[in-house]
Structure 1
Amino acid sequence: MPVRELTPTDALAYRLLTSSAFGGSVDPADPAASAPLSPGQTAIGIDSAALPGGAGGVLAAAARIRHDEISLGGGRVRCGGIAGLAVHPAHRGEGLFAELLAAVLARCDEESLPVSMLYPSNPEIYRRHGYQVVARVETLEVPLVDLQRLRSVPGRRTVPVTAASMPRVRALYEEVTAGDNAMLRRQGPLFPDGLPGQGWEAVLLVGADGQDRGYASWTRRRGEGPGLEVHEVLGRDREDLRALLRVIGSWSTVTESVRLRVRTEDPVLDVLPGGGSRPAGGTVPLVMMRVVDTAALLTARPAPTGLSGALRLEVTDDTVPAGTCRAEGLFDVHVADGRVRAVTVPRSGTTSAQSSAGPSAAHSPEATAGTVLLDVHAASLLLVGGRSLADARRLGLRADADAPAEALLDALLAGPRPSVLDAF
């Protein structure tokens, strides 16, 4: 089944396909329905006409690959964000999903996107193709009576965020989240300059010395339920977070509670007063990621200061056809002077069958800590950081290692658990 890159003339067909799959309506007579897709992404698809009984001008399946960047323990790496992957009802059950997703991964590899990320509507079908849940986006309902208990924080003041001051918000986000794992960098054509959108508001927290300390952003909601949707509360320290939560608490005159979006292990969770916060109703969005190029993903991560050593890593991947991407393989990993170097090792003399007996059965180069064996799900969980090989084993994933090699890899990948917040 031929997969091709979509062109601007395919925009209407793509929007009709995705509106059918995910809901919504598209008026073909509306010029906006035929407008080119947003820049900063690649769209690929399969024509219905190329299949038995297909129709011209219809896409049987299609997807978009967002060209994003994510943080990686103080570094950053390009990421292929998968969006709008859909198969036409007339062509479901014909293997198009697997064909298209393999093409997506191959295209990510071709475009130097070492890791892929998506929000799954059905996690299991993506798990079959090597994706692994690494994070979830949680929203809490917070009663404002709790936030009213917060004392004022001296030496802090808030100012409205305007188009002129929005670059300061972006710079602060970049700085505060730089050491996280998997946070989008929010740069490039997918994140245009200016205020995010209609209804979005924010305040910037400024210290007595004039330094920007944090920000909180929200959208006012009408109707039943919480009257405020709080998108982010980011600060440099606990006092900054308290000051910003106190601003949120000032909305108590018009609403009893707010919905607060939080990241994994969000520092704001340790500052919320009272015990009234609870998970907001609705589905908890999961975040899945998948290694596309193991060596490139490892190399993008800075090594912790003082950490040095070497190990051999083997990653197996039977979820996509061989050669689809560069997740699978043998890699010599060297850590020194704050850098990681990962070199692909030819398989001559060492095969997966030989190494499947265990770490010590695989040949390791001299002067290394030993060997680590991961399946693609374990690699996808671990290489974005914040998890240990023991975590992978608890999930039933293949993560075998010689003890010294396990200690070295765990130390290299240590840090906060992955978090993803996709917009300001």
Structure 2
Amino acid sequence: MSVRELTSDDRPAYRRLTAQAFGGGAVEEVPGPFPEGEIPLGVDSTARPGGQEGVLAAGARIRRDTIALGGGTTACGGIGGLAVHPAHRGGGLFGELLAGVLARCGAEGMAFSMLYPSNPAIYRRHGYQVVARTERIVVPLGELQRLRSVPGRRLVPVTEATMPRLRRLYTKLTAEDNAMLRREPPLFPAGLPSPPWGAVLLEDEAGADRGYLSFSRIAPGSDGAGLEVHEIMGRDRDDLLALLQHLGSWSTVTTAARVRLRTEDPILDVLPGGGLRTTGDIVPLVMMRLVDTARALADRPAPAGLTGSVRLEVRDRTPSATACRADGCWDVRAEGGVVHVEQTSRDEPIPPAGVHETPQAWARLDVHAAALLLAGGRSLGDARRAGLEAEADAAGEAFIDTLLRGPRPSVLDAF
């Protein structure tokens, strides 16, 4: 069966397919281009028993995303709109389409694939691993008015003229993160997001940008929140205090705000905790699949001062293994802030130590542990506690844990 790239003529058929799968309004039956920055793939219904002309048996889109990786960046295939036609379900088409999607990710030079699943189990069978979750909390705004004022800070409205400053600041503030999207065109248009989105920049007395808060005014829900806060980011604790104090000024029009958090978000250490509540929503999970082990390692800078090497083996026994370059064995060396990766054979023995040398360190991971660790911010101990296969000698574990350190992955899909 052939998974092919869709064209503008396939747009109506794909829209019908996704409307059936996910809901939606009337489908525009006029051919047209898919969004720039996306790769649409599909399988024709005529390739399946009982298939019909003009129908897609399955389809998906790959976003050409770039993500932060511990001070570097790497290409990542963001998977969306993956659907199988009701008439063609149950025959293995989902797995075949996903394998085709992952093979295209590899051909495009993507180190990872990422998605936000409604059913994690079906993706886990194909090598995806939960690496993060997006959460929201409800913050009573009256409590924020008690925060101390921060001298030397002022707010600037975000307009078409100042939005480039916010984008540059976002890139700086997330550069050392793991998995945060770079939010670059064409997937993220250069202008302001659509209303009712709004934002304020925080700057110091010299005019240097220190942080920002982005928000949308919403109708109050059952939790009392009349403000959706998309992000609060600052360079330091004082910047976060100043932004949270500003957030408290909204108490004149609503009693609470719903605040989206990064993993281990620094604002949790600044917020008054007495009245914080969870939203009660379903927690959105983020799953990542390792597509190219060597690229995922080489695209990450080595921490300053780290020198050493490890023989790393990744075992991928999932149905999608042949579509990826995750399975294999590599000699991984860190020197001068750079990670060097050279593939070797599993049958090649670990070099013995010479008279004045120590034995070569080693580590062995299954593909789920590899996705968890190479996404950054987790240790082999974390992988073992999650029930994943993660073995190493003492030197190999210390090297891997140091190389892949950093904040745990966070994924926020928009400003």
Establish whether TM, by shorter chain, passes 0.5: yes
**Mean CA deviation greater in 19-28 or 255-264:** 19-28
The match for 2:174 is: 177
Q: Per-residue CA shift, 1:112-169, capped at 9, x if unaligned?
A: 0011111011000000000000000000011112211112211000011001100000
Q: Distance in 1 between matches of 2:359 and 2:160?
A: 53
The match for 1:6 is: 6
TM-score (norm 2): 0.96
Shift of 1:281: 2.0
The match for 1:227 is: 226
Q: Which amino acid aligns with 2:231?
A: E
Q: Which amino acid aligns with 2:128?
A: Y
The match for 1:344 is: 343
Q: Distance in 1 between matches of 2:27 and 2:204?
A: 50
The match for 1:269 is: 268
Per the alignment, in what secondary structure is the counterpart of residue 323 of structure 1? helix
Answer yes or no: is the 8 Å Cα contact 2:12–2:27 preserved in 1. no
The match for 1:217 is: 214
Identity %: 63
2:346 is equivalent to residue 376 of structure 1: no
Q: Which one of the candidate residues 197, 200, 204 is aligned to 2:197?
A: 200
Q: Per-residue CA shift, 1:290-311, capped at 9, x if unaligned?
A: 1100001000000111101011
Gaps of 5+ in 1: 351-361
The match for 2:402 is: 411
Q: Per-residue CA shift, 1:326-373, capped at 9, x if unaligned?
A: 0000100011100101111134x34xxxxxxxxxxx635756642100
Answer yes or no: is the 8 Å Cα contact 1:312–1:368 preserved in 2. no
The match for 2:287 is: 288
Alpha carbons of 1:41 and 1:236: their partners in 2 closer, same or farther (altered >3 Å)? same
2:50 is equivalent to residue 53 of structure 1: yes
The match for 1:331 is: 330
Q: Per-residue CA shift, 1:40-89, capped at 9, x if unaligned?
A: 01111111111110111111111000000100110110111001111111
Alpha carbons of 1:365 and 1:6: their partners in 2 closer, same or farther (altered >3 Å)? farther
Q: Which one of the candidate residues 128, 143, 148 is aligned to 1:131?
A: 128
Answer yes or no: is the 8 Å Cα contact 1:43–1:62 preserved in 2. yes
Shift of 1:270: 0.8
Shift of 1:254: 1.1
The match for 1:402 is: 393
Answer yes or no: is the 8 Å Cα contact 1:312–1:364 preserved in 2. no
The match for 1:358 is: none
Q: Which amino acid aligns with 1:373?
A: R
The match for 1:388 is: 379
TM-score (norm 1): 0.94
Gaps of 5+ in 2: none
1:28-43 aligned within 5 A: 28-29=28-29, 31=30, 34-43=31-40
Shift of 1:26: 2.6
- The number of equivalent residue pairs is 409
Q: Distance in 2 between matches of 1:289 and 1:415?
A: 17
Q: Distance in 1 between matches of 2:182 and 2:262?
A: 15
Q: Per-residue CA shift, 1:1-60, capped at 9, x if unaligned?
A: 22111011111111111111111123335x5xx432210011111111111101111111
The match for 1:304 is: 303
Shift of 1:322: 4.8
Shift of 1:274: 3.5
Per the alignment, in what secondary structure is the counterpart of residue 64 of structure 2? strand
2:191 is equivalent to residue 191 of structure 1: no
Q: Which amino acid aligns with 2:268?
A: L
Per the alignment, in what secondary structure is the counterpart of residue 234 of structure 1? strand
Answer yes or no: is the 8 Å Cα contact 1:311–1:364 preserved in 2. no
Q: Distance in 1 between matches of 2:143 and 2:365?
A: 45
The match for 2:95 is: 98
Q: Distance in 2 between matches of 1:195 and 1:364?
A: 56
Per the alignment, in what secondary structure is the counterpart of residue 261 of structure 1? strand
Q: Which amino acid aligns with 2:243?
A: L
